[in-house]
Structure 1
Amino acid sequence: MKLIYDTALFFFSRGLQTFKRASPKITALVNGREGLFIKLAEFRIKNPGKLAWFHVASLGEYEQAKPVIQELKKRFPDFKVVVSFFSPSGYEYAIKRPQENVDYITYLPFDTRSKAKKFMAALKPDIGLFVKYDLWANHILEAKKRRIPLFLFSASMRQNQIYFKPYGQFFKQVIHCFDHICCQNTETQRLLQQINYHQTSVTGDTRYDRTKAIAQSPKSFPELRDFVWKKNIITVGSAWQEDMDLLIPLINESDKFKWIIAPHDIDPDKIAEWKSKINKSSQKYSELPLKPETEVLFIDNIGSLSSLYQFAKIAYVGGAFGKGLHNILEPIAYGIPVIFGKVKKSGKFPEAQISQEYGCGYSVENEQQLKNIVLELSEDAHYLNSCQNAVRLVNDNIGSASKIMDIISSKIQQS
């Protein structure tokens, strides 16, 4: 299996080089990694000493890492923190903005044995921390060879993953490289024990810590002041076509709300198509100032969504009908109810089920169900109860970062 893995990664990286002009994403994936080792070595020459390496797949996992990074810097201020990304979308967003508590941001090289060795030789980490998933075997095996303590946190695993298959022995070996795995839930812990991995703790999901921190200090939008106070707002996060097919009839029929809609993909043509189907005055954020008659505002920028939920009476979070549900904990952290599509893979998004059990999350499959839920939430008693349940859900689950750092700190202090 190791030979198959290495061969596949070799041809994968070569293939990307060959076809790097096939799409902007592939171009960024390849070109962004040019000069990676030289830049990393230069950083280490200028920044010697203890270093914690965090690896994340993309922006969502980086948000999960932030509370742990903050806690690590609080306890070990002398440590440098390096974050590696695999995805261009996450890397390019992070590199363009100041990142609190992070000293350096890099791509992770493609996971060949030679590149993993060069990466570890240049980075020289004292500890490695992986977030949720995105476990690249050669980098993990190389770190283990160098006796670098490795941790996985906010882990959420499912029975159908390769680690738990009879033919997944090589990937089980990768799991066993970790010194400790901090699990989101008891199901993940049970699955790990099933493959004889027992260095586990159930420490929860750091997204609760992160979303509560954002909700306590959201970005300010003075330009939206007049828009948000005249009517109740429904904020739609990460809208896909399937979500808008559901929402547009309600937008057209209801006069009780104004709408803030953040598309998953900021495609001008797609936004124009949606605007043409809405019979109310709409405009894009980039077209500010807002017209007095505007009732539907499309957010055509990145990075604002988590703070825009502060204006919502109700949130709708998209993605469930397509590639996957976006982060419903962001609106819940503001103490408001959230509506979302029926999740196809419930094990992949446990927060959806948890929110329904608490009574602040509502799953819908069609237009009528959506209208019924919005109608229910228009009743003061039902709405207040749902808001209280949202607050209770977050308060019951914060503190994950501190628990994770308790475990990691003991290892750092031993080394």
Structure 2
Amino acid sequence: MQLLYNIAAILIGVLIIPVFMVRAVREKGFVERIRQSLGFFPKHALDKVEKKDCIWVHAASVGEIVATSPLIKEFRKEFPKSPILVSVVTTSGYEMANRIIKDADAIIYFPLDLPWLAGHVLRRIRPRVYLPVETELWPNFLKTARELHVPVMMVNGRISDKSVKRYKHLHSILRDMIGTVKKFAMQSPIDADYIKRLGAPPELVTVTGNTKFDQTYTDVSAEEKQQILREMCLTKNEGIFLAGSTHRGEEEPVLRAFAAVRERHPDAKLVIAPRELLRTMEVTHICRKAGFTVATRTGLQKTPQQDVDIVILDTIGELGRVYSIGDVVYVGGSLVPHGGHNILEPAAHGKAIIVGHHMFNFKDTYALFKNRDACITVKSGKELAEAVVRLFDDPAHRRRMEQETLAIVQENKGASRKSAVLLHEMLDKYESAAENLPHVRSTQKIANLQTYFIDLVHSKEVHGVFLHLLLAVLYVFSLIYRQLVNCKLAGYELGIFRRKKLDCFVISLGNVTVGGTGKTPTAQRLARDIRDMGYRVVILNRGYRAKWHGDVGVVSDGKRLHMDAAEAGDEAYMLAKHLPNVPVLIGAERAITGQYAIDHFGAEVAILDDGYQHWQLARDMDILLVDAVNVFGNGYILPRGTLREPISHVRRANVCLLTKVDQAAAGSRDYIRETVRKYNDHALIIESIHQPRCFIPLDEWYENIGSEGIDVREMAGKRVVAVSAIGNPASFEQTLSDLGAVIIESLRYPDHHDYAEREMSDVLEQAEAKGAEAIVITEKDAVKIPPAVVRAKWPIPVYVICVEVTFQSGHAAFHALLEKKLAAARGEEAPTARAEKEG
């Protein structure tokens, strides 16, 4: 059943792309919504919650956000030290959340429930608990929650008749989802009964009430109410009829009711709030066709006018407060078979409320108000008109309804507090029991989004219809990506896009594949060589995953470090840590960072680390790195493969460097040379190997720069656990094996993975259980280890392996070429050439 669900999710995702493209043009904020839903969050969006045991509350849209607002306040009181994350699905919900929820540490869009995507985001955040509001249950997301032992508690739970019928068709998926939830805090006895019918164990179900009774964001003072009336040009009125959350087919009966009121109260006004903002023009046309003058809320803010009959509310998240100005309120979605909308927002203001007879989505709340004559139910447009006219004509009857409404709201407050206490009890019980269970093993975390796709796209044999379908979809996107890359490159080559030129010698260093080819140690070696030739050299890094943001960031001025690894990003930090007298700068625009390096450090040579695709800046030499172990990926472009651009683009390289040739399979080097020569007959081809320089204890590595550690030969024969989060972990493991270390366990994490304290404790447990004598990590991993772990006294030593690049075949020719070009840029003769003449 899960497989069928995933196939359907993929197909729907592909088929809906044209719809997304249209909405991206029409709807403000929709592009950002899709980016985040695909797992691409803005910089620093997750800094306060990622791997910090946060409380994750998920509310789909505006209605759920209203219910969430008082919950967040109570959670903050109950868990003052736990960060709080709120996720939403819709753009209106996102705007509403940012407007009314002030106690959240982060607000994001919820990931699409595609296979691996939802799980990838959950693994990245690793919350303490996940709290879906109402009935936000997603199979793939909850599947990962079970794997990671993240407890789930449904809050403000609500199940409609339609949902009960729909969920029952999910069979085994439904059982898995319900089985994941540790506690069900339901709004009403009806909702509690429904969730039990879907399979929830009765002992896990409790009724806490509706948290919307606790909301305060709609509270409006007398002064604020007058301000709203002035802004909407409604200060002169003989009563206001307000129709909230109307659907297609409801505006006509609302207008007939308003016309009937105007016959007896000529200065009465009407406010209509369509449920969908995209219907604003349609509703405006309907009102004008009925003979009324109309203005929109946003239009009146620009051009105030006092004589309009109807104001259309065309803003997001404001209806809850605007309800305060209504004298009679009709809550939409109820004269048509939509199921109605929640009447608690107008009830919070003590309004006389009218609803249609289709209120099946809010049975319990509706029954509560109906049984106490706090709302009027109508079955037709005629009955609606009669009810509205009666309330306008009979102020005493209206006041009695208003008082009863306020009494109901007051009596039912407290659901949010009950939910917070219930959550505390559930977590205490769950976490106490979890202490006696074995930790999640790191090896189970290997099956993450990134490594799964890399394994999948490299597989020679793919089994299953779903996987074939997935690869076909990825291939289609790779064709699109190829064309975009080709068009962009052609634009630069033909001069359509202008390249910026720096007044120094520029070398780009990069590759055409995703993953580790050894750029960082190669950049270190190249920078040292150029520095030792007597040139002022700088490294310009893009600052991948850096928390610092701005145009120019100075990681090192060549004398001391100005940023730590978190601020600079691990690659830039590693470069700076090992390069005295070589400034390292970060920034997205290398032309800007390069000019800064020239102005402030007198740079004569700039090395663009990972700059082969940075075509905006002109360069004097392109050095292309090719991993001799993982040769050109699998031959496919992203996302079907791991190529950043077509292999034919090796034609741009002046130098082609084959890295890790000592680990290459037989014939790989010849194949790379043949491939390069096929597209490039002028590039100098050279080779290099990565040689381990030393092993440095983790705490010493942190405290010292340039530490020598212990000799690499001392690791021979030792039983070690290899831990890595790099692009090519196999190469790291091969290096350890070549040194004679006995790898008893290899734990691989996604490239650039940030380690949590719990994960490192798990690593230690596994190392102890297997009788390891040492744990070995790379320098890229060392910068990601939490400081508390570094300071801890581990029973098993943790070593950082330091690697240096050694050039092999072609080194002399490369050195001579580099000398010649650099000297020419300075207007001098290369030392080698001068020596030959003098000799």
- TM-score, scaled to structure 2: 0.46
Structure 2 residue corresponding to 1:239, chosen from 230, 234, 246: 246
- In the other structure, the counterpart of 1:333 is 348
Structure 1 counterpart of 2:151, one-letter code:
P
Superposition pairs for residues 287-298 of structure 1, below 5 Å?
Answer: 287-288=299-300, 290-298=304-312
C-alpha separation between the residues in 2 aligned to 1:17 and 1:45?
30
Q: Is the 8 A contact 1:41 1:123 kept in 2?
A: no
2:140 corresponds, among 138, 141, 147, to: 138
Change (3 A) 1:18 1:385: closer
Is 1:127 the equivalent of 2:134? no
Q: Report the alpha carbon displacement of residue 167 of structure 1 after superposing the two structures with TM.
A: 6.3
Aligned to 1:72: 75
Question: For 1:179-258, what aligned pairs fall within 5 Å after superposition?
Answer: 179-194=182-197, 195=199, 197-198=201-202, 199-210=204-215, 212-215=216-219, 220=225, 222=227, 224-225=229-230, 227-228=234-235, 230-255=237-262, 256=265, 257-258=268-269
- Assess if the C-alpha contact under 8 Å between 1:240 and 1:322 holds in 2: no
TM-superposed CA distance for 1:332, in Å, is 1.2
State the structure with bigger RCO (CA 8 A, min sep 6), 1 or 2.
1
Tell whether the 8 Å contact from 1:17 to 1:30 is kept in structure 2 after alignment: no
| SS of equivalent to 2:251 | helix
Residue 113 of structure 1: aligned partner: 115
Larger radius of gyration: 2
Q: CA deviation at 1:403?
A: 0.6
Amino acid at match of 1:396: E
Instruction: Point out the more displaced range, 186-195 or 69-78.
Output: 186-195
The whole-number CA distance in structure 2 between the counterparts of 1:213 and 1:279 is: 36
Identity of aligned residues (%): 22
Q: How far has the Cα of 1:98 moved from its partner? A: 7.2
- 2:408 paired with 1:393: yes
Q: Deviations over 1:363-404 (max 9, x none)?
A: 222232123212432323322221122112212221110011
Judged with a 3 Å threshold, the aligned counterparts in structure 2 of structure 1 residues 166 and 70 are, in CA distance, closer, same or farther, namely: same
- Of 283, 291, 296, the match for 2:295: 283
Query: In structure 1, how many angstroms separate the alpha carbons of the residues matched to 2:247 and 2:160?
Result: 26
The Cα of 1:113 is off from its aligned counterpart by: 3.4
**Pairwise CA distance, 1:229:** 5.3
Contact map agreement 1:29 1:88 (CA 8 A) in 2: yes
Is the partner of 1:82 in helix, strand or coil?
strand
Paired residue type of 2:372: Y
Work out the CA distance in 1 between the residues paired with 2:144 and 2:280: 44
What is the CA–CA distance in structure 2 between the aligned matches of 1:367 and 1:16, rounded to whole Å? 37
Q: By how many angstroms is 1:228 displaced?
A: 3.5
Output the amino acid matched with 2:354.
I
Shift of 1:89: 3.5
1:367 maps to 2:381: yes
Deviation at 1:278, TM superposition (A): 3.9
Following TM superposition, by how much is the alpha carbon of 1:407 offset from its aligned partner in structure 2, in angstroms?
0.4
Aligned-pair CA distance for 1:341: 2.0
Give unpaired runs (5+ residues) of structure 1. none
CA distance in 2, matches of 1:247, 1:183: 34
Q: Distance in 1 between matches of 2:280 and 2:168?
A: 43
Aligned to 2:103: 101
Give the Cα separation in 1 of the matches to 2:213 and 2:184: 18
TM-score between both structures, scaled by the size of structure 1? 0.88
Q: Residue 72 of structure 2 contacts residue 101 of structure 2 at CA under 8 Å; is this kept in 1? A: no
What is the SS of the residue equivalent to 1:135?
Answer: coil
Q: Is the 8 A contact 2:218 2:321 kept in 1?
A: yes
- Cα 1:81–1:279 change in 2 (3 A) is same
CA RMSD, 1 decimal: 2.9
CA distance in 1, matches of 2:25, 2:332: 22
Distance change >3 Å, CA 317–CA 18, structure 1 → 2: closer
Secondary structure of the corresponding residue to residue 253 of structure 1: helix
Determine helix, strand or coil for the equivalent of 2:123.
helix
Question: How many angstroms apart in 1 are the aligned matches of 2:170 and 2:244?
Answer: 39
Give the CA deviation at 1:354: 2.6
Output the CA distance in 1 between the equivalents of 2:131 and 2:311.
Answer: 39
Deviation at 1:293, TM superposition (A): 2.7
Residue identity in the other structure for 1:297 = V
* Worse-superposed segment, 86-95 or 333-342: 86-95
Change (3 A) 1:53 1:341: same
Deviation of 1:216 after TM superposition, in Å, equals: 5.3
Question: What residue number does 2:173 align with?
Answer: 170
Q: Aligned to 2:41, what secondary structure does the other structure show? A: helix
Match among 389, 395, 398 for residue 383 of structure 1: 398
- Greater displacement, 227-236 / 13-22: 13-22
- Higher deviation after alignment, 41-50 or 253-262: 41-50
Aligned equivalent of 1:32: 33
Moved more, 128-137 or 166-175: 166-175
SS at match of 2:249: helix
CA–CA distance in structure 1, aligned partners of residues 309 and 273 of structure 2: 14
Unaligned runs of 5+ in 2: 432-839
Q: Which moved more, 1:17-26 or 1:329-338?
A: 17-26
Q: Which moved more, 1:189-198 or 1:243-252?
A: 189-198
Q: Does the 8 Å contact 1:63/1:207 carry over to 2?
A: yes
Contact map agreement 1:163 1:171 (CA 8 A) in 2:
no
Q: Secondary structure at the match of 1:39?
A: coil
Contact 1:235/1:259 (CA < 8 Å) preserved in 2?
Answer: yes
Aligned partners of 2:281, 2:170: CA distance in 1, in Å? 45
The separation in 1 between residues aligned to 2:161 and 2:353, in whole angstroms, is 28
Quote the offset at 1:220 in angstroms: 4.9
Which residue of structure 2 lines up, in the alignment, with residue 12 of structure 1?
A: 12
Does the Cα contact within 8 Å between 1:252 and 1:279 map onto a contact in 2? Answer: no
Once residues 169 and 12 of structure 1 are traced to their aligned partners in structure 2, the CA distance between those partners, rounded to angstroms, is 21
Greater shift, 229-238 or 280-289, is seen at 280-289
- Please tell me whether the aligned partners of residues 56 and 85 of structure 2 are also in contact (alpha carbons under 8 angstroms): yes
- Cα displacement string for residues 166-222 of structure 1 (whole angstroms, at most 9, x for unaligned residues): 862320221121110001111222233342512011011111112x55235695552
Are the equivalent residues in 1 in contact too, given 2:284–2:312 (CA < 8 A)? no
Structure 1 167/336 Cα, relative in aligned 2: closer, same or farther at 3 Å?
A: closer
1:316 paired with 2:330, answer: yes
Partner of 2:86: helix, strand, or coil? Answer: strand
Work out the CA distance in 2 between the residues paired with 1:324 and 1:24. Answer: 29
Q: Is the 8 A contact 2:188 2:364 kept in 1?
A: no
**Amino acid paired to 2:294:** S
Residues 126-180 of structure 1: CA deviation (Å, up to 9, x unaligned): 1110011121011112112211121101112245525773862320221121110
Partners of 1:164 and 1:191 within 8 A in 2? no
